[in-house]
Amino acid sequence: MFMNKEVAWSVALTAAVSALLTIVAPTAHAGPIGNGSDSNNRADKTQGTSNGSGSLEAAAATRVKVSTPNGKVGDGNLTPINTNWTPPICWYEPAMTPKEFKENLEDLEKRGRGMALTAIHSYWDMRTVKRQYGNDENAFGDGTESSKNYNLDKQGEGMWWQGVVNPNRQNEYDSVKRPCGKNIFWVENGEASAPEAISPKVLAEYAYDSIKVPDTEIEMSPEGESTVNLPTWMWLDGAKFKPVEVTASIDMGDGQELSATTEAEPVSLHLDPGTEDAQVHPASGECPIQNGKIGTRYTKGNAEKTPPCGVTYLRATSNSGPYELKASVTWKISWKGSGGTGGDLPDGTFETTEDVTVQEVQAINR
């Protein structure tokens, strides 16, 4: 339900203001990793871009809370595999009750001509409000009696909604033409608001964007230098590579909450030796996860055996410099949300590289 006469949530920046203020929202759940929390995630910063007319588009910080039920496990960001899919750049969500709307505008009026920071982390200029609505800043909505005076007579029956930018995608938003740029609009509790409205799936996709996985730190034997024609055993610490969960939730008002938990489960390690003069084990280069482990730790006496996960280099690096070994872990992504919703999202991968030096020795005792 869109209004013909809405309050602009994107506003003209004054000449005196050359930079955006940075804000931090209230503390959220234990173990927060982003927006709406006390962390240093970009989600806690109000940013935006000009649409060419001097308005700041989608400047408000999201009210979505993000937490990691099983604690922080790493710093790596997942990249979707073999797909053009990306998490949403922006969406619409409930921003203020009628009472909060009125209080914010009254606070803005007290501040006069300067920029004001509202409780919803959006920048408004009172001159813009008055220029758009005359001197009656109480006349919002579609001009009917029910939508005037901030909809105070509907307190508890709905909320004012607005567009917000995905805090992890702010750089991308700057290059996209005005998505989620509708003015603030009123939504009754339980009603659909817009195609890009917050939903369990949007929350799941945002949680995907907030997943942090362990670094792919490969252990190798021999350490330091590999040897021509002798296999290098490779494995990963199984204790680190366990399923990772991120939960995203938002208070919809009237005691309702939407939430989604996205899980990333490690399924395999892919090895790229960095040269054609090498054999990978297994031949596919995909080392599966078995019993929570990737590869097998080398033990004395197995030097000439074929490792379940590893590389045999066929040429030394004395003339070429070290080989750049690439190791990437594939994570299977699934989610469960409010109202029995759920499904799968594109698999993700996290890759690291490591320089490998290979010596020219035909036999070695290990």
Residue 342 has a pLDDT of 97
In the prediction, which pLDDT does 45 show? 34
Judge contact between 206 and 99, C-beta under 8 A: no
Phi, psi of 340 (to 5 degrees): 75, 15
Query: Parallel, antiparallel, or unpaired for β 342-359 and 225-227?
Result: parallel
CA distance 156 to 159: 8
| pLDDT for res 290 | 80
Say which residue the tokens 């690291």 belong to. 352
What is the pLDDT, as a whole number, of residue 4? 33
For helices 98-111 and 126-133, what crossing angle results, to 10°? 110
> How buried is residue 91: exposed, middle or buried, by Cβ count under 10 Å (0-12/13-18/19+)?
buried
In this structure, are residues 234 and 295 in contact, taking their beta carbons and an 8 Å threshold?
yes
Q: Would you give per-residue pLDDT tens digits along the chain (366 residues)?
A: 333 333 333 322 222 222 222 222 222 222 222 233 333 332 333 333 333 332 333 446 789 999 987 776 778 889 999 788 989 989 999 988 888 887 877 776 676 544 444 433 344 455 555 554 444 444 454 445 545 677 888 898 988 888 888 888 877 776 776 678 777 788 888 887 777 899 999 999 999 999 999 887 889 998 879 999 999 999 987 767 788 999 999 999 878 899 999 999 999 999 999 999 999 999 999 998 887 788 889 998 887 789 999 999 999 998 889 999 999 999 999 999 999 999 999 999 999 899 999 998 755 455
**Amino acid 170: pLDDT:** 78
According to the model, what pLDDT value does residue 116 have? Answer: 42
The predicted pLDDT at position 51 comes to 35
Q: What angle do CA 111, 115, 139 make, to 5 degrees?
A: 70
Yes or no: say if 357 and 225 are a contact pair by the CB < 8 Å rule. Answer: yes
Report the pLDDT value the prediction gives residue 279, as an integer from 0 to 100.
96
Q: Please report the pLDDT score of residue 55 as a whole number.
A: 32
Q: Which amino acid is at 162?
A: Q
